[in-house]
Amino acid sequence: MMPKLHSSGLPTLILLQPVLYEYRAHFLNGLSSLLPMYVITSLKTRILVFECVNIPTRNPLVWFAEAITSYTRTSGARVAFVPAYTSHLGIVFSAVLFWFLRIPILVHGQSLYKKPRPNIVDYLISLFWLSIATRYLSYSSIGLEGPFDWPIFRQKVLVFLNRFESCSSLGLDGFSPIYTSFPGDNSPLKLLFIGRDRPGSGLDLAVQLVRDLRAKGYNIHLDLIGVNAFEEDGIHCHGPLFADSIVPIAEECQIGIYPGDAGLSVLHYMALGLCPIVHSDMRKHSGPEPAYVMDGITGCLFDRGSLQNFTEKILYLYTNPVALVQLRKNAHAFSKELLGYRLSAQLKSIINTL
């Protein structure tokens, strides 16, 4: 159980996180050095540098009870940081409690990014979160339509680009990519996939691409991080790896691929100095981060689900190493600028305005 938190002149941040993975834990660790926090979550990592309340269930009554406890165990000014996670009733009930107690609420989410054709239910859900929010932090400018663009709510909405906490959270402090030309001298074009073999990952498309091109004599190699399912000629699985253990593998690669519906892996590729390739149907992706890829500038886009178009993009880069190097440099420069502003510092600056 967490000790009672007393006011230190700074507001206490009551933070609800449905599941806490490593990449988000770095963000919370950064926040903990800036603000007193009371964190309620389901833990999936052990790298935290502060105490939190671990709730290994989605029982809404348990979450609601802990939200009450967070109020009684803190004092002074408070701010709640709550995801717009409507399917998690414990978070919904807790958010309503904070609103009833007049605690400022920072709601964060994807707005209508995943809803290119929103229906009445989508509008009602959006209205709920916008109504109780003091600020709504949208992970992208895409999807800020419907209620998000209504004059009554427009001043509440801020774009809060989703990203990693910093380069250091990826083990990339002082990292400089090595840009090499290929093919030639028996040097392959090496592709990197970071993610899980889950529905929608498009991993089957990546494997088929490598099989087809190698069968035609192209020197193509695929490294898979986070996957154990495949191991064959030209494809090597490394299993789950984290942070700086990924860097030596990425340094041997030139392109980061996510053929399916991608998320933060795209930004990870860019930070590693790789050219990201993702499909072009942005609102079908798992998150808004693939929108950081500008076709022909910071990476390449292909038609969703099209092995032929995916192959065409790979072959273009295979035969145009100078263009590939420039894309990699542009992608890395973009990531450096985005990750140069710590996510925790940006949130703290928003809290200061409340």
Model confidence pLDDT, tens digit, residues 206-262: 999 999 999 999 999 999 998 876 778 899 999 888 778 899 999 999 999 999 999
- pLDDT > 70: percent of the chain: 94
Q: How far is CA 266 from CA 5, 137, 161, 243, 337, in A?
A: 38, 21, 14, 15, 15
Distance, in Å, from the CA atom of 329 to the CA atom of 2, rounded to the nearest integer, reads 46
Return the minimum-mean-pLDDT range out of 172-176, 262-266, 286-290, 336-340: 172-176
- C-alpha closest to that of 161 among 267, 31, 21, 286: 267
- Quick count: other Cβ atoms within 10 Å of Cβ 163? 23
> 132 and 107 in contact (C-beta within 8 Å)?
yes
- Quick count: other Cβ atoms within 10 Å of Cβ 145? 15
- Quick count: other Cβ atoms within 10 Å of Cβ 193? 28
> 111 and 148 in contact (C-beta within 8 Å)?
yes
Model confidence pLDDT, tens digit, residues 298-317: 999 999 999 999 999 999 99
Distance, in Å, from the CA atom of 46 to the CA atom of 63, rounded to the nearest integer, reads 21
| Residue 128: pLDDT band with limits 50, 70, 90 | very high
| Residue 182: pLDDT band with limits 50, 70, 90 | low
List, in order of start, the domains of the chain with CATH numbers. Answer: 12-167+341-352 (3.40.50.2000), 169-339 (3.40.50.2000)
> 30 and 342 in contact (C-beta within 8 Å)?
yes
